[in-house]
Structure 1
Amino acid sequence: MIQPATGAVEAAIHARLTDALVPSRLVVVNESHHHAGHMGDDGTGETHFAVEVESDAFAGLNRVARQRLVNRALADLLESRIHALRIKTLVPGEAA
C-alpha cells in the first residue's frame, strides 16, 4: 500500500523513497500541524513528517543502517525543507 501525497514536500518524499527503496508499503504522515508556531515551523505546513517504509532493501540491515538509507534518499530535503523526520523501517513480513 502506497498512499497518495497531498503537498509538494510530501510528494517529493514519496517519489524519492519510492525510487530509492522500491517499497512494498510506504506511509508518509505530515505531522506539521502538531508543531505550528514551534521551532522549525516555516509556515508552509510541510516541515515535520513521519514515514513508515517496508522494503526488501532493508533486509540484513540494522535500524541505523536502514535509517541512513532513508536519510540519504531525502538528504537535500532534510537540509532545506524538512525540519523533523520520524522514521520506521521494516522488511516485508517483519512485525511492526
Structure 2
Amino acid sequence: MTVKDAITNKLHEAFAPESLDVVDESHLHEGHSGHRPGGETHFRVYIVSKAFERKSRIERHRMINATLAAELEGPVHALAIKAHAPGEG
C-alpha cells in the first residue's frame, strides 16, 4: 500500500468525508528538506466532512494530524490541509 493510499483510507475511516482529495506534491520539493527519491513525502489534503462542523481551523488540523500520527512520524515530511464542513468555502 502506498503512503497516499494509507492517508486516504485513514481519513475515510475517521471522517466519512463528503469529498476527499489527497495529492502527492513530493515532486515539487525535489532538493528540499525531507524529500526522498520516489516521493511520497509531501502531501496536500482537501477534505469536506460533517465532523468539522463548529470546529476551528486549528481543531480540524489537530483532528487530521492525530489521525495521521504514524505517517507524520514516519514517511511524511509535510502535510498541507484544507478542511471544511459541508457548505463552507
TM-score range, shorter chain: over 0.9
Runs of 4+ in 1 over 6 A off after TM superposition: none
Give the TM-score normalised by structure 1.
0.89
Aligned length: 89
Among the aligned pairs, what percent are the same residue? 46
Paired position in structure 2 for 1:62: 56
Paired position in structure 1 for 2:4: 10
Paired position in structure 2 for 1:37: 31
Q: For residues 12-53 of structure 1, what are the alpha-carbon distances to aligned partners after superposition, in whole Å with 9 as ceiling and x for unaligned?
A: 010000001110000111100001122101213100000011
Instruction: Say what the alpha-carbon RMSD is for the aligned residues.
Output: 1.0
CA distance in 2, matches of 1:70, 1:80: 15
Does residue 39 of structure 2 align to residue 73 of structure 1? no
SS at match of 1:61: coil
SS at match of 2:11: helix
